[in-house]
Chains A and B, each alone.
Chain A
Amino acid sequence: MSLLVVDNVTLRFGGVAALDGVATEIGRGEIRGIIGPNGSGKTTLLNAICGIHRPDAGEIRLDGEKLTGLKPSEIARRGLGRTFQTSQLFRGMTVLENMICGLHRRTTTGLLAAGLRLRSARAEEAETVERARAALDFVGMGAFADRPASALSFGQQRVVEIARTLIGEPKIVLLDEPAVGLSLNRVAEFDALLRRIRDEKGVTLVLVEHVIRLVMEISDRITVLNSGRKIAEGKPVEVRNNPEVIEAYLGKELRARRAAS
């Protein structure tokens, strides 16, 4: 059974259909790339999946459970993680504290236990700190644990943000343009990191990305959106040679010229 099912999802902003009957199924352990020209609905699709937007029609299911209509925090608690286009680290916290926040849904200490610092609260806190340090080490950021989050470079913030999402052990993570603004060397490192995440943690990844090289290299399958519609889906090679995809990216004329030559 597929892990994530997007079942004919339509989402309108005013009269404009940002998503128009989009349907796809993402398998367990898959790395799925989502590409498309600007404004094609990639981020909107992620937002619909994680509950920021509510679809006008259609349904989204994770592990057979319906997500449509739930709040983003409820969806997150069911095992769906998400990172954003711009860095969303909590700036008033250290790197380590940011990481511990990723464990929020895995912890249970209540107001009184926290306020009275009961033994159960202290034990849980100690365990989360331990796990957060280990998770930082996994992505090679252990040395930065006690720095303020705002002191990290752009690329480092990206990595910490992904680690913060992973630490809560989600079944699936949606990454919105994780490589945007990274140097080429960094993109290669990133590539390796995403593969390690999938291979060692068994997490399914959905990747919206403009850096086409990265998507082509690491995705098992790619979904192509254009004007809110799915125009192609398949292995990277298939998608690369799909005439509709080329047209969406390069325009009709170029395609004609290509065909002529």
Chain B
Amino acid sequence: MPVFSRRNVLLVLLAGALILPWMGNPYTLFVGTLLFIYVLLAVGLNLLVGYAGQLAFANAAMFGIGAYTTGLLQVRLELPFFAAFPCGAVVATLVGLVISLPALRLSGLYLALTTLAFAQATQWVFLHWENVTFGAGGFKTPLISFAPLPVETPTGLYFLSLLLAVLLTLFAWNVAASRIGRAFVAIRDGEVAAESLGIDLLRYKALAFAMSGFYAGVAGGLYSALLNFVAPEGFDLFQMVLHKAMIVVGGLGSVTGSLLGAGILVFLLEALRAFKGTQEIAFGALLLVFVIFLRGGLVSVLKRNARGWEEPLRLPERRARLLARPGTASVPGE
């Protein structure tokens, strides 16, 4: 295995992330948590857009639905965070399933417009259903507590986000390299051929939408806890562009690319925070440059020039061969 393989690089980064709370200050802890949240968003969106090829624009809305559900259940029904948070993920997943219904009839631009309309409608509900959502001003969520664990809230939230980002990224990698990931890519590359092989479009499109909804919902719940505040403008079109930029810059159809894209854009987001208004310009320009000059995103450069960054849509052969040999039923766990 080459030294700079994906696994080694990511393990080093993970080790860095594990010690960061003892090295950095509250600000780096905040940015780290934000990064993990965006990793979740980018990975989920890439499954839907990059793998399954569904040009959907509802990710920011599902992010918002996760945040609002988690926040409102705490404020309105006084549920504890750890009960409200899973509910937020479940609601976002269900909403993802509902959005998948038009996706069976529509594709390309029409799907993009429909999902965009849905996202705007969600904004409208956040803004105007004041009896529930508190309207344009948003609302404060309670500070979450990790008691009885002996950690302070920011540190606890940092590790919770890291844990979920790592687990759900591994999950996405495994799904992508399975018959499900291949069914997604088959639908992206040719719906008619996919169907002729017995791949059910309804089932797999719905699954891709639901998965991206789940990832966005989890991210939303964490986001509400990180900011202690939920307001409509956090989940607007700019947020959507941000998610899209991450997967385009990192690489469509690549979980690794999602990680790269999330890293780069969170860095830019923070670096440009002092210069209000430049963020939009920078992201727009970045998106253009990549769409025009580097379609495969940054990960395509790595895949071409470095070994150990491949992302096959199947189990790595070494393991496959081990398993195929009779009498090797007890393969060491991975």
A residues at B contact (CB < 8 Å): 50, 52, 71-74, 76-77, 81-84, 88-94, 96-97, 100-102, 104-105, 107, 109, 111, 114-117, 119, 121-123, 125-130, 164-165, 168
Do A82 and B196 have beta carbons less than 8 Å apart?
A: yes
Q: Does B190 have its Cβ within 8 Å of any Cβ on chain A?
A: yes
Which of A72, A77, A107, A130 has the most CB atoms of chain B within a 10 A radius of its CB? Answer: A72
Residues of chain A with a CB closer than 8 A to B207's CB: 111
Most buried by A among B172, B323, B324: B323
Q: Looking at the complex, which one of A82, A107, A111, A129 makes contact with B315 (CB distance below 8 Å)?
A: A129
Residues from chain A with a CB closer than 8 A to the CB of B12 are none
Q: Say yes or no: B175 contacts A114, CB within 8 Å.
A: yes
CB of A110, distance to nearest CB on chain B (Å): 8
B163-210 residues with Cβ-Cβ distance < 8 A to A are 171-172, 174-175, 178-183, 185-186, 188-190, 192-201, 207
> Is the contact region of chain A dominated by helix, strand, or loop, or is it mixed?
helix
| Nearest CB of chain A from residue B278's CB, rounded to whole Å | 35
Check if B315 sits within 8 Å of A125, measured CB to CB.
Answer: yes
Q: Are A126 and B180 in contact (CB under 8 A)?
A: no
Known: A92-B253, A123-B323, A129-B315. A109 touches B193 (CB 8 A): no
User: Which single member of B172, B179, B253 contacts A104 (CB below 8 Å)?
Assistant: B179
CA distance A219 to B268 in the complex (A): 65
The reply to whether A90 and B190 form a contact with Cβ atoms under 8 Å apart is yes
- Are B199 and A101 interface neighbours, CB within 8 A? yes
> Using a CB-CB cutoff of 8 Å, which residues 206-223 of chain B contact chain A?
207
Interface presence of B312 (CB below 8 A): yes
Closest Cβ of chain A to B175, distance in Å, is 5
| B188, closest chain A residue (CB) | A92
Q: A50-B196, A88-B193, A92-B188 are in contact. Are A101 and B182 (CB under 8 A)?
A: yes
Contact A76 to B324, CB < 8 A, known contacts A93-B313, A114-B178, A115-B171: no
- Measured in the bound complex, the distance between the Cα atoms of B321 and A102 in whole Å is 20
Contact B321 A84 (CB under 8 A): no
Is the pair A100, B171 in contact by a Cβ cutoff of 8 Å? no
Given contacts A116-B174, A127-B324, contact A91 B179 (CB under 8 A): no
Once the chains bind, are B179 and A93 in contact (CB under 8 Å)? no
CB A70 to nearest CB in B, in angstroms, measures 11
Structural contact, B198 and A100, CB atoms closer than 8 A: no
User: Cβ of A81: which chain B residues have Cβ within 8 Å of it?
Assistant: 196
Closest Cβ–Cβ distance, residue A71 to chain B (whole Å): 7
CB-based contact A76/B196 at 8 Å: yes
B197 to A: closest C-beta gap in Å:
6
Residue B76 interfacial (CB < 8 Å)? no
Q: Is the CB of A164 within 8 A of B324?
A: no
In the complex the two chains form, is B312's CB within 8 Å of A97's CB? Answer: yes
Q: Is the CB of A125 within 8 A of B178?
A: yes
Extra A-B contacts (14), CB below 8 Å, given A72-B196, A90-B193, A127-B324: A73-B195, A74-B200, A76-B196, A90-B189, A94-B312, A97-B182, A104-B183, A105-B198, A117-B174, A122-B323, A123-B323, A125-B179, A126-B324, A130-B320
B-chain residues with CB within 8 Å of residue A73 when the two chains form the complex: 194-195, 198-201
Shortest Cβ-Cβ A-B pairs, 7 listed? A105-B198, A114-B178, A88-B193, A76-B198, A90-B189, A126-B323, A126-B320
Distance to closest chain A CB from B4 (angstroms): 22
Contact with A along B311-334 (1 / 0, CB 8 A): 011110101111110000001001
A residues in contact with B331, CB < 8 Å: 119, 122
In the bound complex, CA of A76 to CA of B185 (Å): 18
Residues of B within 8 A of A125 (CB): 178-179, 314-315, 320, 323
Instruction: Tell me, in angstroms, the Cα distance from A105 to B253 when the chains sit together.
Output: 23
- Complex: A109 Cα to B315 Cα, angstroms: 13
Given contacts A90-B190, A126-B324, A130-B324, contact A104 B199 (CB under 8 A): yes
**Chain B residues whose CB sits within 8 angstroms of the CB of A84 once the complex forms:** 192-193, 196
Q: Which residues of B contact A89 (CB under 8 A)?
A: 193
Task: Please give, as numbers and ranges, the residues of chain A lying within 8 Å of B190 by CB-CB distance.
Answer: 88, 90
- The minimal Cβ–Cβ distance linking A133 to chain B, given in whole angstroms, is 10
Question: Are the C-beta atoms of A101 and B174 separated by less than 8 Å?
Answer: no
Chain B 250-264 residues near chain A, CB threshold 8 A: 253
**In the complex, A164 Cα to B192 Cα: how many Å?**
14
Chain A residues whose C-beta falls within 8 Å of the C-beta of B199 in the assembled complex: 73, 101, 104-105
